[in-house]
Structure 1
Amino acid sequence: MKRLLCAALPALLLAGCAARPADAKAEPLTVTGRYPLQYAQQFTIDECAGGYDLVTIDGARYLVLPEGAAVPDALDADITVLQQPIENIYLVSSSAMDPIISLGGLDAVALSGTRAENWYLNEAKAAMESGQIAYAGKYSAPDYETILAADCGLAIENTMIYHTPEVKEQLEKFGVPVLVERSSYESGPLARMEWVKLYGVLLGKTDEAEQLFDDAVQRVAPLEQEPSTGKTAAFFSIASNNLATVRKGGDYVAKMIKMAGGEYVFADLTDSGNNLATVNISLEDFYAGAKDADVLIYNSTIEGEIRTMDELLAKCPLLARCKAVQQGNVWCTAQSLFQQSMELPDLILDMNKVFTEGTPEDSELRFLTKIR
């Protein structure tokens, strides 16, 4: 393996040099404006002369160069250069796949940090099963040989990579740029979805990204004019250690419930000094907070789907006393939910139907199934 890596380094270095055409004239980097974002707070894009884009994520900076453009003179050493077309991406952050697929950019992905059987996105699963995308190891144990052999142009990680910083350093040492996306740190669903604009910039598909995002905003816009339904809801799962996992009050799921016309029963749960969106509480505390809720929504993405009331009550018999259980207003999310990051408006609309119609047919909903 060492021989392969060492042999690959000169080629990578030469490729880096070739990114700057000999006849291209380099100019200093000049910022001309700021790419407009409506909701996202975790990244910015500065527009620069010459069609360059300077992306900043949590202090890390990436300069996206148009194909054939020269690297600007006197560029700050901390700026990572990404020359378009950006190809053979190693996609570790699963939440980035749906925006890339929605943009028609799946061909730019050559490597995945998720195995085929763990994808709920049909296009991603099919691409891996056909060999178009290869499994290259999870974030903490990448297959460096596969990554280098694929001539990887970019690794897209999530913040889990900071638990194994040596992996990030090794990828960069081998000439693979690493972009750490932070969409999960956005506090609202539309802010999370607006990351599609970042992938639009990376893949040269800004018009498509803006149209996709505008369409998503328009889908839920009518709900802004509707009054609150007055319905209360809990969004939760129950772990094998007999604790309930709920979202904090400032989390994007709580905001989706609000956008759908409901009230989140754990809205008062605040940050306890960490950046986690969830908190574990005892089943007794969960029951105390959720017993009078009009709607219970079980999050299947953590512990798997629940299909029957008997399955739910086996996890927590106390729930039999809950108002929503007695009235038959308990729902389960699809396990694909958090991979389908561009479909969050569908979940908001599903919730709105549950809050306004009481018991809509399962066929009318995309991400919620009634527990009977």
Structure 2
Amino acid sequence: MQTKHFGLCAALSAAALLLLAGCAGSGSTAAPTLTVESSYPLQYAKQFTVDECTGGYELITIADSQYLVVPQGAAVPEDLPQGTTVLQQPIENIYLVSTSAMDPIISLGALDSIALSGTKADGWYLPEAKAAMQAGQIAYAGKYSAPDYETILASGCGLAIENTMIYHTPEVKEQLEKFGIPVLVERSSYETDPLARMEWVKLYGILLGKKQEAEQLFDTQVQCVAPLENQQPTGKTVAFFSITSNNLVTVRKGSDYVARMIEMAGGSYVFDDLTDSGNNLATINLSLEDFYAGAKDADVLLYNSTIEGSIASTEQLVEKCPLLVQFKAVQNGNVWCTAQSLFQQSMELPDLILDMNRVFTEGTPADSELTFLTHVE
């Protein structure tokens, strides 16, 4: 049975391949057999699973792909499932393309495991990531569809972490793997619960040898929103949106994690009935008329600044869409704008839920009391 084995270099010598197989010489120890002991417990995440195996090995499954995390100094087991990607610890010099993975890795104190970024310094809203790139500690190695292979190979890259956009250019994934670089395609964006997205920190904890730290970090963040579980709904109706340059309104679908955050905060999302429409996109574009019909009586408007930029005043918002002057929330001064860092700060989602709850229950809390929301005057 053939298994893909990846190293840090563009090619492995024949002797190294023999060593990985556990048969470099007659005196070598035979490769162990992979034996699953238990399933690693996950509370919310649905897009990955982990099987804990004897000897400290961990078998990660993401969609139809499997990754075996091999402890440092351990041999690669024999008879792995066809196509299993072997990740030998320590995993270093990561090429990070998926921006949602950066915050969990920073939170684990493992920023030094990243050597390359698929985002330029000015594209990061995370100060640690931006500073590391400006200091030359992390190099820009091209976006997902056009990586700088020379830079990647010269760095001794041990892993490329991509999101599902890589499937639009499958030849890039194939080329990286031909160079001996394993590619892990993360799917946290497919999670429909904010706590499920945040639980992906456990996957990075496993990869980077910080499993216990990840569990403690996740548990601490979950406890931040635990008090909201016993609160009654506020009765506030809420629209979360942005206005595009071609006069359409982008809203989140009812199954999206943003709608779930509004619910957890005690609100009711006005577009909760919007369905998948046959695709996996989290958003849908509405005409101004359809948006007016659905959101004109909403108690709270939350403007998503991450797509078209932030707004500083209701006048600026009304310039984008004159119909908004007729909206209840605009007339009552209950319009809020999200921080542009929102979708990169996946470990701080509880702070946004708490922000929403304060807005829904207190009316107009001071901006200084909030993390991700700013009142639009």
TM-score normalised to the size of structure 1? 0.96
Name the residue aligned to 2:234.
229
Q: Which stretches of structure 1, 4 residues or more, deviate above 3 A after TM superposition?
A: 8-25
- Taking the aligned partners of 1:17 and 1:151, their CA distance within structure 2 comes to 21
Name the residue aligned to 2:164.
159
Q: What is the CA-CA distance between 1:143 and the residue it aligns to?
A: 0.2
Q: 1:143 aligns with which of 141, 148, 155?
A: 148
Q: 1:116 aligns with which of 114, 117, 121?
A: 121
Q: 1:243 aligns with which of 239, 244, 248?
A: 248
Q: What is the CA-CA distance between 1:26 and the residue it aligns to?
A: 1.4
State the Cα deviation string for residues 146-175 of structure 1 (Å, max 9, x = none): 000001000000000000000000000000
Query: Residue 87 of structure 1 aligns to a residue in which SS?
Result: coil
Letter in 1 for 2:10: L
Give yes or no for contact 1:24–1:69 (8 Å, CA) kept in 2.
no
| Count of matched residue positions in the alignment of Structure 1 and Structure 2 | 365
Name the residue aligned to 1:276.
281
Letter in 1 for 2:207: L
Query: Residue 306 of structure 2 aligns to a residue in which SS?
Result: helix
Q: Is structure 2 residue 103 aligned with structure 1 residue 98? A: yes
Q: Is structure 2 residue 356 aligned with structure 1 residue 351? A: yes
- Taking the aligned partners of 2:72 and 2:344, their CA distance within structure 1 comes to 31
- Taking the aligned partners of 1:291 and 1:24, their CA distance within structure 2 comes to 71
Letter in 2 for 1:313: V
Name the residue aligned to 2:216.
211
Name the residue aligned to 1:264.
269
Query: Residue 280 of structure 1 aligns to a residue in which SS?
Result: strand
- Taking the aligned partners of 1:164 and 1:75, their CA distance within structure 2 comes to 27
Against the structure 1 CA distance between its residues 252 and 10, is the aligned structure 2 distance closer, same or farther, given a 3 Å change threshold?
Answer: closer
Give yes or no for contact 1:157–1:178 (8 Å, CA) kept in 2.
yes
Name the residue aligned to 2:340.
335
Give yes or no for contact 1:12–1:175 (8 Å, CA) kept in 2.
no
Q: What is the CA-CA distance between 1:134 and the residue it aligns to?
A: 0.5
Letter in 2 for 1:321: Q
Q: What is the CA-CA distance between 1:209 and the residue it aligns to?
A: 0.4
Q: Is structure 2 residue 89 aligned with structure 1 residue 88? A: no
Name the residue aligned to 1:181.
186
Against the structure 1 CA distance between its residues 12 and 355, is the aligned structure 2 distance closer, same or farther, given a 3 Å change threshold?
Answer: farther
Name the residue aligned to 1:317.
322
Against the structure 1 CA distance between its residues 240 and 71, is the aligned structure 2 distance closer, same or farther, given a 3 Å change threshold?
Answer: same
Letter in 2 for 1:102: S
- Taking the aligned partners of 1:35 and 1:126, their CA distance within structure 2 comes to 35
Letter in 1 for 2:156: D
Name the residue aligned to 1:9.
10
Give yes or no for contact 2:44–2:199 (8 Å, CA) kept in 1.
yes
Q: Is structure 2 residue 60 aligned with structure 1 residue 55? A: yes
Name the residue aligned to 1:67.
72
Query: Residue 338 of structure 1 aligns to a residue in which SS?
Result: helix
Against the structure 1 CA distance between its residues 207 and 24, is the aligned structure 2 distance closer, same or farther, given a 3 Å change threshold?
Answer: farther
- Taking the aligned partners of 1:17 and 1:356, their CA distance within structure 2 comes to 64
Q: Is structure 2 residue 31 aligned with structure 1 residue 26? A: yes
Q: Is structure 2 residue 203 aligned with structure 1 residue 198? A: yes
Deviates more, 1:172-181 or 1:70-79: 70-79
Letter in 2 for 1:248: K
Q: What is the CA-CA distance between 1:17 and the residue it aligns to?
A: 5.5
- Taking the aligned partners of 1:101 and 1:197, their CA distance within structure 2 comes to 13
- Taking the aligned partners of 1:124 and 1:12, their CA distance within structure 2 comes to 35
Query: Residue 328 of structure 1 aligns to a residue in which SS?
Result: coil
- Taking the aligned partners of 1:101 and 1:200, their CA distance within structure 2 comes to 11
Q: What is the CA-CA distance between 1:16 and the residue it aligns to?
A: 5.8
Q: What is the CA-CA distance between 1:342 and the residue it aligns to?
A: 0.2
Give yes or no for contact 1:65–1:84 (8 Å, CA) kept in 2.
yes
Letter in 2 for 1:273: G
Identify unmatched segments of 5+ residues in structure 1: 1-7
Letter in 1 for 2:88: Q
Q: What is the CA-CA distance between 1:279 and the residue it aligns to?
A: 0.3
State the Cα deviation string for residues 157-206 of structure 1 (Å, max 9, x = none): 00000000000000000000000000000001000000000000000101
Q: Is structure 2 residue 325 aligned with structure 1 residue 297? A: no
Percent of aligned pairs with the same amino acid: 75
Letter in 2 for 1:49: T
- Taking the aligned partners of 1:131 and 1:142, their CA distance within structure 2 comes to 18
- Taking the aligned partners of 2:351 and 2:16, their CA distance within structure 1 comes to 43
State the Cα deviation string for residues 61-103 of structure 1 (Å, max 9, x = none): 0000000010111222310000000000000000000000000
TM-score normalised to the size of structure 2? 0.95
- Taking the aligned partners of 1:166 and 1:39, their CA distance within structure 2 comes to 33
Give yes or no for contact 1:112–1:133 (8 Å, CA) kept in 2.
yes
- Taking the aligned partners of 2:293 and 2:14, their CA distance within structure 1 comes to 61
- Taking the aligned partners of 1:27 and 1:86, their CA distance within structure 2 comes to 21
Q: What is the CA-CA distance between 1:284 and the residue it aligns to?
A: 0.9
